[in-house]
Structure 1
């Protein structure tokens, strides 16, 4: 065959390849540029020249119909800018229909900004120069739950900038009738349309800017569904997903449910695929006790863990909610719908210690305080343990400035002590007091609300007496219990130890430098004390002292160092604040506030390094809460100097694989403390960096291992403040074996024939196995070449 035939065949193959590539490219372009549009669309709003001002905004994507143009008008232009400008860019232009005097403006290509109208041919048109704004409509749509049980329902919320609009809804796997069932027939929206020419679309009509209604999935198959929502006249669109699950609704107990007699006992359940749950405790026939609660969970997912509480103290068995409540952490989401009790202990008795059967479920017969057989989903035990023995009563003190109620109580500094400086807080901690349920009745969950008379009444109700007596001769012995207040935050943090504060300040019944006897009695009127022989009586005492504060004699000579210490002692409560000041007339005046330590000492640190020895000054210290103060004369003396030294130990040479380490010791051999920055490097890499305060005579030591896996020199260095040390460890190869060393074959190792020149690497190091730069164009040329070769071989 002639060469022309090859040329013609080659040309044919080339053109065919170009066509294939073009088709692929066009397909990709069409696929990427396609815009989905579902269901009917609205023409958009119309505005008349007689009411131009009503056209203020256009939602981008709308078709705007402008009417009322005169016969002189030829065209209408939309120009950029919120001010009339004859030179402004024209972004949209439409001819005016002379028969109707109207024009339709497309806003798809407009941006979110101001525009003005220019009427061509009629400068007197009401539309000429009118300004409007292009606005992007926000649309936010979400289901309240990410999943919903099959045949169940959940709410859907729609938020928009517009007060009235229509939304087309589609979802893969659902047709228009399914959608109508979900949102309209079984759901909560009444105004909608379906269309014969598009069976997969539902239009929700007249949706406002803030709507919420139910979506019901009765008879909808279990699956993941993504719903697409599009406004019928603008570019706004949104999607929302929900998973329809065919699992059964389930309410199950989580963890152990136990507590002592008289406590609030937590009942924690998980709720899967249901918003409503029921819990029953006890059996009337077996336990002479039975109660039930029905509750709803309003949180926004289908898998919730919530906690209820049951009050085992008697006062609430027949009161509001029959002893049931929602745990504080869940009060915002969980609501108790209904409760009942069919049998309960007699008034004055707590729920007895016993393991009561619990039943959880989804349906309840509240008249009988029971979960129905069909609604039962789980069982467990509600375990009430005997009240633990009453504990001791200890006295504690706290700084006068500390708050002892509310959330601030957790930050208060409490210290065990039987002596309080007049002005500080005095507290009594009653160990293992319990009675959590009774406290809940009196304080409504807020412990700090039990003060004065309410606390006195509470103690009387639970059979507790607390008396304070002045043991001195002829004293009016018994003091008023109304001087107590409960300290603490809430019952959520209550651990059974009741803390009460004695408000003795300003009370004429209490004197300073006086001891008082405290008697705490749990009488037989208490539900946990069966008779007089089991009554609990605990005696204690405390002393109220005048506030005291004194500076130490050691302050008479103070070193002129940068961290000179002024020290003292006080009987103010640890954590209290002491105000200190130093003053040398004409030289310095400084002050520092410090806290009292747990041992009653306080230390203030001053920088006197700028001042000469021999400078005389005055030290003052004061705690105004306990009226403690002291003053002292002092003089600056020569400060000792720190002396920082480094001691290192490291081998000079080792063999590959041997153990080797760098031992470092930094010492202060001087007469003053120093904060030292210590750094250690090995092989030019930092292995330690820290700041250490070394008192006179102190040492800091550490050891670091060398890496000896390879031969070579390993440098090391240590710095400590201005001091440094360095060295080098040599890691040597093992001594070679002399036998046969000359015949080791090193010259015949084949290194010259290793194939390095034929390895296929190109000049820039790229391996011939890779194909850098081998893209679509090169691939196409290769295909053409192969085709030409095939043709040539065929001929």
Structure 2
């Protein structure tokens, strides 16, 4: 017989046991609403009916209205169905509950009542607020201002705009921080309060050397960050040239450099001395406030006396008016020029004052253009149109250019880079490169006719010319490299008669009047010359191309005079039998340029006649055809045969164990697609399918279990065969240690070691947990007997009561409750 009290006791026991289990499994939970905040906390008011999907930022105080006075309101962490009650709040007289979110995060909701009468309000989400602060420069000098910036936040505008922050640092007191930031000292004297908006900055005057860290905490939320800065000694103001001596060559550009660290005002540079070398130029360098320790480079063009400045941070250059007292016009002469740099300049006497550093610039004699040399280069048709194309085009030095391919001339010269620049045109009468012209000449003299020369030039036809002016040329400087002493000219017909498609030509480049170094086109003329030929485009198959191997990578070669880099369309075609195509690229050769096509002719019948065709991709009329015949491939790989072998000559195994047998298979020339058998004593016991390309290889693994009566103790033969290949190996089966051939019988691991006598009910009331349920009959031969498993208890490392122990406690309490009777 039972009564209500006994049932209540049973229920209470089960409930307490369940609470113990939940406390172990779930762990502890922070009680939102009870933690003390380290900030004032922004108040966020909302009615309970509007709480759904509300976002609160951690640290805010959430005031929820709409409850009955004194009503119990349960606060849950999580979402309905997967939550935990963490607090019970009591509504105030006006029906409000207040929630401090300092230690909260994620989803929450409120609930009144329970069971069928429960009312849920929410869910609302507690967002973790974030702010980031950084110094605009992580290192400053003592004479510089430190700028702290609010660089980012996830706070909404109503919290971010005008937000207050508590700034503290172990290096400063609250009053010092208030002075640094312009904020107000806190009551505890350890920090300062500042306010601002995202992206705002604060200037801090940190004039003492050291490393400083500032902690910034939101007053309204739990958002916080820190920012660090290093303050170093001020670098002394320095103005100096990069080196004492500079050297260059007349006709080129020459550079000198300097630094002006810590200087905001302009500096002044003097080049030369009018009393010593009849040349003196004054330069003003401005915009130095952002330059820092950058090296500034000034470049002097010795051909025309122009100056340029190179600066990554915007330094400017002015050639001061009326300061150039040069007595000679045009190019600078070969001599030494003093350099000086100063911080002041006297307008009245054109002099630099307050000199900071000095240097020396030496200009060496110019090398005559007549001492230069040239070479002819080519590239595939239409591959070079501007300077950028030179980076990708295939350029080849040659004395023969196929008609239609690019014509280029490379000039190796030393003293021209002050007036030869990339993009210039070589012309006549001062156009483009001053005083330089180019012409291509063809000697057309012959028997019974007067000597004559046809000329294509960068200048037009004139009355006093002693040659036949056939047309004008375009000659563009694609690159000018002073460091390597070369410039490259691209040539093309411009107007008039086109260049001949086949001719021997002479190239002449002249420099005369209109150049600062040459007075006229006669006595002072400087020139260089070279020769090359233009040929009709040709294409032909090689002498051995009439017989082609019937193989997967049959190659056929030909010769051509077109520029390396040109592509050739090739085709091998036997009507009704096969068509193979390839597009090889022309390669430079010693005697002729070559192309090599590759075709897959494997499986085709030897003796088949077919046509080889090649076509120039830059000239469809330039083609070559040849009748060819397929012949047997001489590739040594075609003789490859199928091979098979065992991984070992003998496999030794103990009776009832499993042996791993490996077979290596290599395909022949025709590949392999078959089944590979494993035989024991001539009987097939297993097989595996293989599919291999020609001369491919693989290793197959077979498992042979010897527990069957088919494998008695003793020596057996393993064998296999694939195509015409075969292999064999010994297979030796030895007796087991007990002579029975069995190592896993029940006699060695019988239930006697795990019988009920060791786990009998005598220790646990006997009636419900007798040995009959855990006898050896159910656990014989087991490797995980009760004796082994008992040594692993508690191995999960869970502190206190493990989950298993807690569950057993719950079950035990339930059993006691059920068994308890009046």
TM-score normalized with structure 1 length: 0.60
* Aligned counterpart for 1:620 among listed residues 613, 619, 630: 613
Aligned to 1:443: none
Q: 1:561 to 1:128 in 2, by over 3 A?
A: closer
1:238 paired residue number: 226
Q: How does 1:733-744 map to 2 (within 5 A)?
A: none
Matched with 1:335 is 314
Q: Write the distance in 2 (CA, Å) between the matches of 1:91 and 1:278.
A: 73
Q: Structure 2 vs 1, CA of residues 172 and 536 (structure 1 numbering), >3 Å: closer, same or farther?
A: farther
Asked if structure 2 preserves the Cα contact closer than 8 Å seen for 1:222 and 1:246, the reply is no
Q: Quick one: structure 1 residues 586 and 127, their matched pair in 2 at CA, closer, same or farther if it must change by over 3 Å?
A: same
Task: Note closer, same or farther for the CA distance 1:341–1:276 as it changes in structure 2 (3 Å cut).
Answer: closer
Q: Which residue of 2 aligns with 1:580?
A: 570
Distance 1:536 1:75, change over 3 A: farther
Superposed CA RMSD in Å reads 4.6
Q: Which residue of 1 aligns with 2:281?
A: 289
Q: For the Cα contact (< 8 Å) 2:476–2:491, is it kept in 1? A: no
Q: 2:63 is matched with which residue: 66, 71, 76?
A: 66
1:637 aligns with: 631
**Per-residue deviation, 1:396:** 1.3
Name the counterpart of 2:42: 44
In terms of fraction of residues, the more helix-rich structure is 1
What is the count of residue pairs matched by the alignment? 562
**Residue 384 (structure 1) shift:** 4.0
Alpha-carbon distance in structure 2 between the residues aligned to 1:622 and 1:506 = 30
* Residues 273, 338 of structure 2: 8 Å contact kept: no
Q: Which residue of 2 aligns with 1:393?
A: 374
Q: Deviations over 1:232-288 (max 9, x none)?
A: 332331323323224424455446754434544444556767799957352555651
SS in 2 for 1:129: strand
2:392 matches 1:411:
yes
Answering whether residue 134 of structure 2 is matched by residue 160 of structure 1, we say no
- Counterpart Cα distance in 1 of 2:547 and 2:494: 39
- Tell me if structure 2 keeps the 8 A contact 1:167–1:207: no
Structure 2 distance, partners of 1:411, 1:508, is: 31
Q: 2:310 aligns with which of 294, 304, 326?
A: 326
Q: Would the alpha carbon gap of residues 412 and 89 (structure 1) be closer, same or farther in structure 2, given more than 3 Å must change?
A: same
TM-score of the superposition, structure 2-length normalised?
0.58
Q: Is there any run of 5+ residues in structure 2 with no aligned partner, and where?
A: 1-36, 446-451, 460-471, 639-822
Q: Distance in 2 between matches of 1:91 and 1:266?
A: 77
Q: Verify: 1:425 aligned to 2:427, yes or no.
A: no
Q: 1:461 to 1:643 in 2, by over 3 A?
A: closer
Residue 129 of structure 1: which of 100, 115, 122 is its match?
122
**Does 2:502 match 1:513?**
yes
Shift of 1:135: 4.0
Relative distance call for 1:517 and 1:142 in structure 2 (3 A) is same
Q: CA deviation at 1:398?
A: 0.9
1:107: how far off?
3.9
Against the structure 1 CA distance between its residues 488 and 589, is the aligned structure 2 distance closer, same or farther, given a 3 Å change threshold?
same
Aligned CA distance change for structure 1 residues 521 and 456 (closer, same or farther; 3 Å): closer
Deviation at residue 522 of structure 1 after TM alignment? 1.2
In the alignment, structure 1 segments of 5+ residues that lack a partner are 1-38, 185-191, 318-322, 441-446, 645-795
1:501 paired to 2:496: no
CA distance in 1, matches of 2:172, 2:420: 56
Residue of structure 2 in register with 1:465 after alignment? 437
The alpha-carbon distance between structure 1 residues 640 and 476, as it changes in their structure 2 partners (threshold 3 A), is: closer
Q: CA deviation at 1:506?
A: 9.7
Contact 2:508 2:528 in 1 (8 A): yes
- 1:422/1:512 contact within 8 Å kept: yes
Structure 2: distance between partners of 1:535 and 1:571: 36
Q: Is the 8 A contact 2:238 2:261 kept in 1?
A: yes
Selected match of 1:118 from 107, 110, 134: 110
- Contact in 1 for aligned 2:215/2:226 (Cα 8 Å): yes
Which residue of the partner structure matches residue 225 of structure 1? 212
**Over alpha carbons, which structure has the higher Rg?**
2
Partner of 1:20: none
Measured at CA, do residues 99 and 53 of structure 1 come closer, stay the same or move farther in structure 2, by a change above 3 Å? closer
How far off is 1:547 after superposition? 1.5
User: Taking structure 1 as reference, are residues 240 and 73 closer, same or farther at Cα in structure 2, changes over 3 Å only?
Assistant: farther
Cα distance in 2 for residues equivalent to 1:637 and 1:621: 21
Does the CA-based 8 Å contact 1:44-1:63 persist in structure 2? yes
Are 1:76 and 1:103, in contact at CA under 8 Å, matched by a contact in 2? no
Check the 8 A contact 1:297/1:335 in 2, yes or no: no
SS in 2 for 1:289: strand
Q: 1:103 to 1:279 in 2, by over 3 A?
A: farther
Shift of 1:551: 0.9
